[in-house]
Amino acid sequence: MFLHLGNGISVREEEILGIYDYNLFRSGENRRYLTERQSRMIYPEDREQPVKAVVVTSDAIYFSCIAPVTLYRRAGLFTRLGRKLRQ
């Protein structure tokens, strides 16, 4: 399955390593993580909308104007996580 990140960008769900709130990357170690991987970053074409989420995949780092919680819901990650916790 594919996860739509907004602005015409979709990624394969199995390639996603993590979906994070953009605010986590504004300073410190997380900020350094992004600056060290600038060549792998993919920004949305519409830069007028604020970035809300950072999606890390095996190949790239995507910035999305869609909230991380919404991306989790679209991917069904809450449902899958709940099933694993109940087992």
Rg for the chain, CA atoms, rounded: 13
Number of H-type helices and E-type strands within the chain: 3, 6
The model carries a pTM of: 0.80
Name every residue whose Cβ is closer than 8 Å to that of residue 37 and which is 6 or more positions away in sequence. 61
Q: What is the mean pLDDT of each run of 10 residues along the chain (87 residues)?
A: 89 91 89 85 78 92 93 75 55
Per-residue pLDDT at 70? 93
Per-residue pLDDT at 78? 54
**Cβ neighbours, 10 Å, residue 42:** 15
